[in-house]
Every structure is written in structure tokens, then in C-alpha cells.
Amino acid sequence: MSVLEEFRLTNKVAIVAGDGTLEQNIFTPYLAEVLAEAGARVFVVARRHESVEEAVRRARAQGAESYGTLCDCTREDYVEMAVADALDHFGRVDILVNNFRTELAKPFDQVTLAEFEAVMDRNAKSVFLMCQAFGKRMLQGGGGRIVNIISELAERGLGNSAAYCASQGAVLQLTRALALEWGRRNIRVNAIGTGWYSAEELPPEEAQNELLVRYIPLRRRGHPRDMAPLLVYLASDACDYTTGQPIYIDGGLMARP
């Protein structure tokens, strides 16, 4: 990917945080990779070893200095340890990317309180704790960029997905409120919204055979690389007059009635 000079992240320190296995959460390694390609040094925070390992490997393959740590981001004490670890390696924080999206597909009348709380904890509470802990360091350092990866279900409903939709809506509103609160302190807070994605590379004619794809205006699932240019922009100094915005990279899904 060619990176314009004004979008360069050279020597910036980016924290990439995610949850889930690689099968459940395909984005985190690609997010680390593209930030590294743009010049950032990358610190990965995730709950599972394979997620940290793959994201760090991809960042280093771009020539970036990269480290990671295991962290249950629903725990305030663990998040503070992750902050300390990141600062020990890099000394500051310029960029925070949150990618917490544990799904739960279940009829609403069958969702238990424990399941609802678990989804809200992993998807919304984690973002709250990460934004608060790393945001404090950005405030101390004079500014920064926060990008929250969300689903389009933050604004659209879907049957058998009430808990997940609620968690995504919470992150969207947190994004907007933080953008207002921290705007004058040089912190920009935005969200990238996704639709149906896959890391699998399929020929167009084969991909379009899938019934789900026929509902997508651009007739294919998204690939994590599709969000790369937008992520780099939102993480860069060039993103100075954009804040509080959800921007959807979804093949046109949000345009459908």
C-alpha cells in the first residue's frame, strides 16, 4: 500500500487491542500490519496468545519494532499492567485501535444475564477501560488518535443478535462522547464500521455464488485490507478535522433500506 507523506506514522506508537481467536476475529493482525507498514511501532494487546503472536509477526514483517502482551481487557488491573508494559517498551502512546467484537447469536428470550454481561464486558467495557487507561497517557503527552472498530449493527438491528447490537451501539456512543470531551485536547476519536468480512481470498465468480453476497451492493465480502487506507488516515496527523464519526467500509450495506 502506498502511503502519502501526510499520512505517514513514522515513529508513532500504536496500541492495537483485540479479542477472540484468529478464527473469530480476523482483523487484529491486519490492523497491526497496516499501521506498521505506514511506519508505526506497534504494541499488541490481546487475550489469546495466537492473536498476539500473529499480529506481532505481521508488524515485524513490515520492518516495524513490535511487541505484545496477553491481557484480559475486561479487568482494570490487567489493562493497567498492559499500559505499563507498552510504556516500558516505547515510552509513550500516540494511537489506540480497539477491535473488540465477541458475537452472540441467540434468540433474545434465551439469552442469559451471564451471556449478556459477558458480551457487554468484552465488547464495551474493554473499550471503556482501554480508552480511559491509554487516553490518560495521550492527554499527558499532548494528544493522540483513537479508532474503534465496530460493526454496522451499532446502528442497525438484527434478529437473534440483541446483545451484540447493544454492545456495538455502546461503543459507537462512547466514540462520539469522547470525541466531544477530548477534541480540544488534540485527541481525535473515530470509528470504522464493518459489514460482512472474510480473510479468505476467493475468485469473484466463486464469491458471488454465496447467497449472503447477493445482498451486498458491491457483491463481495470485505477483506480486512479494505479498511487499511482509512485506518492509516484516522491514525495520522492528517486527521485533524474529523472526529466523532463512524465511517462504514461495508460494500454499501448501510445504504440499503
DSSP structural state of residue 149: E
Given CA atoms 130, 133, 134, 135 in this order, what sign does their dihedral have? positive
Q: Which three cell numbers stand for residue 28?
A: 487484529
How many Å apart are CA 214 and CA 221, to the nearest integer?
Answer: 10
Has domain 10-250 been given CATH number 3.30.70.100? no
Catalytic residue among 67, 78, 164, 241: 164
Q: What is the mean pLDDT of each run of 10 residues along the chain (257 residues)?
A: 79 92 75 97 95 96 97 97 98 97 94 97 97 98 98 94 97 98 98 90 69 85 92 97 97 89
Cα-atom radius of gyration of the chain, to the nearest Å?
A: 17
Asked if 196 contacts 152 with a C-beta cutoff of 8 angstroms, the reply is: no
How many Å apart are CA 11 and CA 40, to the nearest integer?
Answer: 5
Chain Cα centroid distance, residue 76: 19
What's the whole-model pTM score? 0.94
Q: What pLDDT sits at residue 207? A: 65
Backbone phi, then psi, for 2, in 5-degree steps?
-75, 135
Catalytic residue list contains 164? yes
Q: What pLDDT sits at residue 12? A: 98
